[in-house]
Amino acid sequence: MIVEINNLVKRYENNIAVDHINLSIKEGDIYGLLGPNGAGKTTLINTMLCLSRINEGQIKIFGKDLYSQEEEIKKEIGIVPQDVAIYDDLTTYENLVFFGKLYGLKGNLLKNRIDETLEFIGLQDKKKAYPKKFSGGMKRRLNIGCAILHQPKLIIMDEPTVGIDPQSRNQILESVKILNEKGSTIIYTSHYMEEIEEICKTITIIDHGRVIASGTKEELKNLISFEDRITIRLAKANNNLCNEIKSIDQVKECIVEDNRLTIVSSKNSKNLGRIIDVITQQNSLIQEINLEKPTLEGVFLTLTGRTLRD
Ligand SMILES: Nc1ncnc2c1ncn2[C@@H]1O[C@H](COP(=O)(O)OP(=O)(O)OP(=O)(O)O)[C@@H](O)[C@H]1O
Ligand SMILES: [Mg+2]
Protein backbone atom coordinates (compact mmCIF):
# COMPACT_ATOMS: atom_id res chain seq x y z
CA MET A 1 0.00 0.00 0.00
CA ILE A 2 1.29 3.45 -0.87
CA VAL A 3 -0.94 5.19 1.69
CA GLU A 4 -2.38 3.69 4.86
CA ILE A 5 -4.56 5.71 7.16
CA ASN A 6 -5.78 4.22 10.42
CA ASN A 7 -8.52 5.58 12.59
CA LEU A 8 -7.79 9.18 11.70
CA VAL A 9 -9.59 11.90 13.63
CA LYS A 10 -9.34 15.65 13.03
CA ARG A 11 -11.47 18.07 15.00
CA TYR A 12 -11.94 21.81 14.67
CA GLU A 13 -13.18 22.88 18.08
CA ASN A 14 -16.58 21.16 18.32
CA ASN A 15 -16.70 20.11 14.70
CA ILE A 16 -15.31 16.73 13.68
CA ALA A 17 -14.00 17.13 10.11
CA VAL A 18 -12.40 13.67 9.82
CA ASP A 19 -14.22 11.06 11.85
CA HIS A 20 -12.26 7.82 12.38
CA ILE A 21 -11.26 7.33 8.75
CA ASN A 22 -9.46 4.21 7.53
CA LEU A 23 -8.04 4.14 4.00
CA SER A 24 -5.61 1.96 2.08
CA ILE A 25 -4.43 3.19 -1.28
CA LYS A 26 -2.68 0.77 -3.64
CA GLU A 27 0.35 1.72 -5.66
CA GLY A 28 -0.72 2.51 -9.25
CA ASP A 29 -4.25 3.50 -8.34
CA ILE A 30 -6.25 6.51 -9.38
CA TYR A 31 -8.01 6.88 -6.08
CA GLY A 32 -11.09 9.08 -6.02
CA LEU A 33 -12.40 10.80 -2.93
CA LEU A 34 -15.97 11.74 -3.70
CA GLY A 35 -18.00 13.85 -1.33
CA PRO A 36 -20.13 16.97 -1.12
CA ASN A 37 -18.96 20.36 0.16
CA GLY A 38 -17.69 20.12 3.71
CA ALA A 39 -17.33 16.33 3.59
CA GLY A 40 -13.75 16.56 4.82
CA LYS A 41 -11.80 15.92 1.60
CA THR A 42 -9.42 18.86 1.92
CA THR A 43 -8.93 18.32 5.64
CA LEU A 44 -8.01 14.70 4.99
CA ILE A 45 -5.49 15.75 2.34
CA ASN A 46 -4.04 18.44 4.58
CA THR A 47 -3.39 15.86 7.28
CA MET A 48 -1.51 13.75 4.72
CA LEU A 49 0.75 16.72 4.01
CA CYS A 50 1.26 17.62 7.69
CA LEU A 51 -0.55 20.90 7.02
CA SER A 52 -3.14 20.06 9.60
CA ARG A 53 -2.46 18.48 13.00
CA ILE A 54 -4.39 15.32 13.73
CA ASN A 55 -6.13 14.42 16.97
CA GLU A 56 -5.95 10.65 16.69
CA GLY A 57 -4.77 7.93 14.34
CA GLN A 58 -1.81 7.03 12.12
CA ILE A 59 -0.76 7.90 8.59
CA LYS A 60 1.78 5.85 6.67
CA ILE A 61 2.92 6.90 3.21
CA PHE A 62 5.33 4.78 1.13
CA GLY A 63 5.35 2.41 4.12
CA LYS A 64 6.87 5.08 6.38
CA ASP A 65 5.36 6.85 9.34
CA LEU A 66 4.44 10.37 8.19
CA TYR A 67 5.34 12.11 11.42
CA SER A 68 8.77 10.60 11.85
CA GLN A 69 9.81 10.79 8.17
CA GLU A 70 7.93 13.83 6.93
CA GLU A 71 10.69 15.37 4.80
CA GLU A 72 11.61 12.16 3.00
CA ILE A 73 7.98 11.40 2.25
CA LYS A 74 7.05 14.87 1.02
CA LYS A 75 9.86 14.89 -1.55
CA GLU A 76 7.98 12.17 -3.43
CA ILE A 77 4.57 13.85 -3.32
CA GLY A 78 3.14 16.38 -5.78
CA ILE A 79 0.25 18.47 -4.57
CA VAL A 80 -2.29 20.38 -6.62
CA PRO A 81 -4.18 22.28 -3.92
CA GLN A 82 -7.85 23.24 -4.05
CA ASP A 83 -6.93 26.92 -4.21
CA VAL A 84 -4.50 27.59 -7.06
CA ALA A 85 -1.03 28.25 -5.65
CA ILE A 86 1.13 29.93 -8.27
CA TYR A 87 2.81 33.32 -8.40
CA ASP A 88 0.92 35.87 -10.48
CA ASP A 89 3.95 38.11 -10.85
CA LEU A 90 6.28 35.38 -12.07
CA THR A 91 5.99 34.16 -15.67
CA THR A 92 4.90 30.60 -16.42
CA TYR A 93 8.54 29.63 -16.92
CA GLU A 94 9.66 31.36 -13.71
CA ASN A 95 6.92 29.62 -11.73
CA LEU A 96 8.14 26.26 -13.01
CA VAL A 97 11.76 27.16 -12.16
CA PHE A 98 10.69 28.18 -8.67
CA PHE A 99 8.80 24.98 -7.92
CA GLY A 100 11.39 22.77 -9.61
CA LYS A 101 14.12 24.25 -7.41
CA LEU A 102 11.98 23.73 -4.32
CA TYR A 103 12.15 20.04 -5.14
CA GLY A 104 15.89 20.14 -5.69
CA LEU A 105 15.97 20.18 -9.50
CA LYS A 106 18.64 22.28 -11.21
CA GLY A 107 20.72 22.76 -14.36
CA ASN A 108 19.91 20.79 -17.48
CA LEU A 109 17.65 18.40 -15.63
CA LEU A 110 15.46 21.29 -14.50
CA LYS A 111 15.46 22.81 -17.98
CA ASN A 112 14.50 19.52 -19.62
CA ARG A 113 11.76 18.81 -17.10
CA ILE A 114 10.34 22.30 -17.64
CA ASP A 115 10.27 21.80 -21.43
CA GLU A 116 8.54 18.43 -21.05
CA THR A 117 6.08 19.84 -18.53
CA LEU A 118 5.22 22.87 -20.68
CA GLU A 119 4.33 20.53 -23.48
CA PHE A 120 2.40 18.24 -21.17
CA ILE A 121 0.23 21.06 -19.79
CA GLY A 122 -0.12 22.71 -23.22
CA LEU A 123 1.37 26.06 -22.22
CA GLN A 124 4.51 26.14 -24.43
CA ASP A 125 3.37 29.34 -26.13
CA LYS A 126 2.65 30.97 -22.76
CA LYS A 127 5.99 30.42 -21.14
CA LYS A 128 6.81 34.14 -21.01
CA ALA A 129 3.28 35.17 -20.01
CA TYR A 130 2.11 36.11 -16.52
CA PRO A 131 -0.61 33.93 -14.96
CA LYS A 132 -2.63 36.92 -13.76
CA LYS A 133 -3.94 37.17 -17.33
CA PHE A 134 -4.71 33.43 -17.56
CA SER A 135 -8.11 31.79 -17.58
CA GLY A 136 -9.00 29.57 -14.61
CA GLY A 137 -8.17 26.49 -16.66
CA MET A 138 -4.74 27.76 -17.70
CA LYS A 139 -3.89 28.61 -14.07
CA ARG A 140 -4.93 25.12 -13.04
CA ARG A 141 -2.77 23.56 -15.73
CA LEU A 142 0.22 25.61 -14.65
CA ASN A 143 -0.44 24.58 -11.05
CA ILE A 144 -0.45 20.94 -12.14
CA GLY A 145 2.83 21.54 -13.99
CA CYS A 146 4.40 22.94 -10.81
CA ALA A 147 3.29 19.83 -8.90
CA ILE A 148 4.68 17.21 -11.31
CA LEU A 149 8.08 18.60 -12.38
CA HIS A 150 9.90 16.39 -9.89
CA GLN A 151 8.06 13.26 -11.13
CA PRO A 152 6.52 12.38 -7.77
CA LYS A 153 5.43 8.86 -6.90
CA LEU A 154 2.19 10.19 -5.43
CA ILE A 155 0.19 13.08 -6.87
CA ILE A 156 -2.67 14.57 -4.87
CA MET A 157 -5.19 16.73 -6.72
CA ASP A 158 -7.89 18.53 -4.75
CA GLU A 159 -10.84 19.42 -7.00
CA PRO A 160 -8.65 20.47 -9.93
CA THR A 161 -11.53 21.01 -12.35
CA VAL A 162 -13.81 23.31 -10.37
CA GLY A 163 -14.86 26.40 -12.26
CA ILE A 164 -12.92 25.88 -15.49
CA ASP A 165 -13.80 25.59 -19.16
CA PRO A 166 -14.68 22.15 -20.62
CA GLN A 167 -11.57 22.06 -22.81
CA SER A 168 -9.19 22.54 -19.87
CA ARG A 169 -11.24 20.10 -17.87
CA ASN A 170 -10.86 17.38 -20.49
CA GLN A 171 -7.18 18.17 -20.82
CA ILE A 172 -6.75 17.78 -17.05
CA LEU A 173 -8.67 14.49 -16.94
CA GLU A 174 -6.53 13.16 -19.79
CA SER A 175 -3.35 14.28 -18.07
CA VAL A 176 -4.38 12.45 -14.88
CA LYS A 177 -4.67 9.24 -16.88
CA ILE A 178 -1.30 9.78 -18.57
CA LEU A 179 0.49 10.58 -15.29
CA ASN A 180 -0.95 7.38 -13.87
CA GLU A 181 0.16 5.35 -16.90
CA LYS A 182 3.67 6.79 -16.45
CA GLY A 183 3.71 5.33 -12.94
CA SER A 184 2.35 7.86 -10.48
CA THR A 185 -0.35 6.95 -8.01
CA ILE A 186 -3.05 9.61 -7.97
CA ILE A 187 -5.43 10.77 -5.27
CA TYR A 188 -8.18 12.83 -6.84
CA THR A 189 -10.95 14.61 -4.96
CA SER A 190 -14.13 15.91 -6.50
CA HIS A 191 -17.80 16.34 -5.96
CA TYR A 192 -18.43 15.65 -9.64
CA MET A 193 -19.39 12.02 -9.80
CA GLU A 194 -19.10 11.92 -13.60
CA GLU A 195 -15.38 12.67 -13.60
CA ILE A 196 -14.65 10.42 -10.62
CA GLU A 197 -16.47 7.69 -12.50
CA GLU A 198 -14.54 8.39 -15.69
CA ILE A 199 -11.01 8.34 -14.32
CA CYS A 200 -10.85 6.62 -10.92
CA LYS A 201 -10.07 2.94 -10.40
CA THR A 202 -11.01 2.97 -6.72
CA ILE A 203 -13.61 5.31 -5.30
CA THR A 204 -14.24 6.22 -1.70
CA ILE A 205 -17.36 8.18 -0.89
CA ILE A 206 -17.07 10.38 2.16
CA ASP A 207 -19.66 12.44 3.96
CA HIS A 208 -19.52 14.27 7.30
CA GLY A 209 -15.93 13.11 7.73
CA ARG A 210 -16.79 9.44 7.46
CA VAL A 211 -16.25 6.79 4.80
CA ILE A 212 -19.68 5.85 3.48
CA ALA A 213 -18.54 3.29 0.91
CA SER A 214 -15.41 2.27 -0.96
CA GLY A 215 -14.62 0.09 -3.96
CA THR A 216 -14.51 0.06 -7.74
CA LYS A 217 -17.40 1.83 -9.41
CA GLU A 218 -18.94 -1.54 -10.22
CA GLU A 219 -18.67 -2.61 -6.60
CA LEU A 220 -20.26 0.61 -5.42
CA LYS A 221 -23.09 0.32 -7.87
CA ASN A 222 -23.66 -3.29 -6.90
CA LEU A 223 -24.29 -2.06 -3.38
CA ILE A 224 -27.52 -0.53 -4.50
CA SER A 225 -28.57 -2.53 -7.44
CA PHE A 226 -30.22 -5.87 -7.47
CA GLU A 227 -31.93 -5.26 -10.75
CA ASP A 228 -31.21 -4.42 -14.34
CA ARG A 229 -33.62 -2.11 -16.08
CA ILE A 230 -33.76 -2.62 -19.83
CA THR A 231 -35.72 -0.48 -22.27
CA ILE A 232 -36.28 -1.63 -25.84
CA ARG A 233 -37.92 0.42 -28.56
CA LEU A 234 -39.55 -1.68 -31.26
CA ALA A 235 -41.15 -0.90 -34.60
CA LYS A 236 -44.23 -2.55 -33.16
CA ALA A 237 -44.78 -3.93 -29.68
CA ASN A 238 -47.82 -5.62 -28.15
CA ASN A 239 -49.03 -7.16 -24.92
CA ASN A 240 -48.59 -10.63 -26.21
CA LEU A 241 -44.84 -10.06 -26.64
CA CYS A 242 -44.70 -8.50 -23.20
CA ASN A 243 -46.35 -11.53 -21.62
CA GLU A 244 -43.90 -13.83 -23.28
CA ILE A 245 -40.95 -11.80 -21.97
CA LYS A 246 -42.52 -11.88 -18.50
CA SER A 247 -42.45 -15.65 -18.55
CA ILE A 248 -38.61 -15.65 -18.83
CA ASP A 249 -37.02 -16.77 -15.57
CA GLN A 250 -35.94 -13.82 -13.36
CA VAL A 251 -37.77 -11.23 -15.45
CA LYS A 252 -39.74 -9.40 -12.80
CA GLU A 253 -41.64 -6.92 -14.87
CA CYS A 254 -42.41 -5.97 -18.45
CA ILE A 255 -44.42 -2.92 -19.40
CA VAL A 256 -45.35 -1.88 -22.93
CA GLU A 257 -45.96 1.75 -23.80
CA ASP A 258 -45.80 3.44 -27.22
CA ASN A 259 -43.88 0.52 -28.73
CA ARG A 260 -41.37 0.75 -25.90
CA LEU A 261 -40.80 -2.16 -23.54
CA THR A 262 -39.50 -1.50 -20.06
CA ILE A 263 -38.19 -4.69 -18.51
CA VAL A 264 -36.92 -5.29 -15.00
CA SER A 265 -34.75 -8.33 -14.55
CA SER A 266 -32.58 -9.67 -11.73
CA LYS A 267 -29.06 -8.33 -11.79
CA ASN A 268 -26.57 -10.44 -13.75
CA SER A 269 -29.27 -12.84 -14.89
CA LYS A 270 -27.90 -12.58 -18.46
CA ASN A 271 -31.48 -12.23 -19.62
CA LEU A 272 -30.84 -9.71 -22.38
CA GLY A 273 -30.03 -12.49 -24.87
CA ARG A 274 -33.20 -14.42 -24.00
CA ILE A 275 -35.31 -11.29 -24.32
CA ILE A 276 -33.86 -10.51 -27.74
CA ASP A 277 -34.53 -14.12 -28.82
CA VAL A 278 -38.22 -13.77 -27.92
CA ILE A 279 -38.48 -10.50 -29.82
CA THR A 280 -36.74 -11.95 -32.87
CA GLN A 281 -39.05 -14.97 -32.89
CA GLN A 282 -41.98 -12.59 -33.11
CA ASN A 283 -40.34 -10.79 -36.03
CA SER A 284 -40.36 -7.45 -34.24
CA LEU A 285 -37.79 -4.96 -35.39
CA ILE A 286 -35.57 -3.60 -32.58
CA GLN A 287 -34.84 0.10 -33.01
CA GLU A 288 -33.08 0.85 -29.76
CA ILE A 289 -31.93 -0.99 -26.64
CA ASN A 290 -30.91 0.66 -23.40
CA LEU A 291 -29.51 -0.96 -20.30
CA GLU A 292 -30.04 1.64 -17.60
CA LYS A 293 -27.27 1.38 -15.07
CA PRO A 294 -27.24 2.73 -11.54
CA THR A 295 -25.07 5.83 -11.06
CA LEU A 296 -22.73 6.93 -8.28
CA GLU A 297 -25.23 9.71 -7.62
CA GLY A 298 -27.77 6.94 -6.94
CA VAL A 299 -25.30 5.21 -4.60
CA PHE A 300 -24.76 8.41 -2.65
CA LEU A 301 -28.48 9.09 -2.50
CA THR A 302 -29.28 5.60 -1.26
CA LEU A 303 -26.54 5.58 1.37
CA THR A 304 -27.01 9.11 2.72
CA GLY A 305 -30.54 10.08 1.75
CA ARG A 306 -29.19 13.25 0.11
CA THR A 307 -27.92 14.30 -3.29
CA LEU A 308 -24.26 15.11 -3.86
CA ARG A 309 -25.02 18.70 -4.77
CA ASP A 310 -26.98 19.64 -1.65
N1 LIG B 1 -9.58 25.81 9.24
C2 LIG B 1 -10.78 25.36 9.65
N3 LIG B 1 -11.32 25.75 10.82
C4 LIG B 1 -12.51 25.28 11.24
N5 LIG B 1 -13.26 24.42 10.54
C6 LIG B 1 -12.80 23.99 9.36
C7 LIG B 1 -11.54 24.44 8.84
N8 LIG B 1 -11.32 23.84 7.64
C9 LIG B 1 -12.40 23.06 7.43
N10 LIG B 1 -13.29 23.15 8.43
C11 LIG B 1 -14.56 22.40 8.54
O12 LIG B 1 -14.28 21.03 8.39
C13 LIG B 1 -15.27 20.39 7.60
C14 LIG B 1 -14.62 19.74 6.39
O15 LIG B 1 -14.14 20.75 5.49
P16 LIG B 1 -13.27 20.45 4.23
O17 LIG B 1 -12.81 21.74 3.69
O18 LIG B 1 -12.26 19.44 4.57
O19 LIG B 1 -14.36 19.79 3.27
P20 LIG B 1 -14.24 19.46 1.70
O21 LIG B 1 -14.80 18.10 1.52
O22 LIG B 1 -12.88 19.73 1.22
O23 LIG B 1 -15.28 20.50 1.08
P24 LIG B 1 -15.22 21.30 -0.35
O25 LIG B 1 -15.78 20.38 -1.38
O26 LIG B 1 -16.14 22.46 -0.10
O27 LIG B 1 -13.81 21.72 -0.60
C28 LIG B 1 -16.29 21.45 7.27
O29 LIG B 1 -17.34 21.36 8.20
C30 LIG B 1 -15.51 22.73 7.42
O31 LIG B 1 -16.38 23.77 7.78
MG1 LIG C 1 -12.12 20.92 -0.20
pLDDT in tens, 70-87: 999 999 999 999 999 999
For the whole model, what pTM was predicted? 0.81
Q: What is the DSSP letter of 228?
A: E
Spatial separation of the C-alpha atoms in residues 28 and 39, rounded to whole Å:
25
Residue nearest (by alpha carbon) to ligand 1 atom 6: 12
pLDDT in tens, 126-152: 999 999 999 999 999 999 999 999 999
pLDDT of residue 210: 95
pLDDT of residue 254: 87
Is residue 12 in contact with ligand 1, taking CB distance under 6 Å? yes
Q: What totals of helices (H) and strands (E) does the chain contain, helices first?
A: 11, 14
| Ligand 2 midpoint to CA 38 (Å) | 7
pLDDT at 263 over 70: yes
Spatial separation of the C-alpha atoms in residues 191 and 37, rounded to whole Å:
7
| Ligand 1 midpoint to CA 40 (Å) | 6
pLDDT at 310 over 60: no
* 224: confidence class by pLDDT, cuts 50, 70, 90: low
Counting ligands in written order, the one closest to the CA of 81 is: 2
Taking the CA atoms of the chain, what radius of gyration do you get in angstroms?
Answer: 24
Over residues 112-128, mean pLDDT: 95
pLDDT of residue 275: 92
pLDDT of residue 126: 96
Over residues 103-115, mean pLDDT: 96
Is residue 38 in contact with ligand 1, taking CB distance under 6 Å? yes
Neighbours of ion ligand 2 (CB under 5 A): 41-42, 82
Spatial separation of the C-alpha atoms in residues 187 and 282, rounded to whole Å:
52
Is residue 52 in contact with ligand 1, taking CB distance under 6 Å? no
Over residues 177-196, mean pLDDT: 94
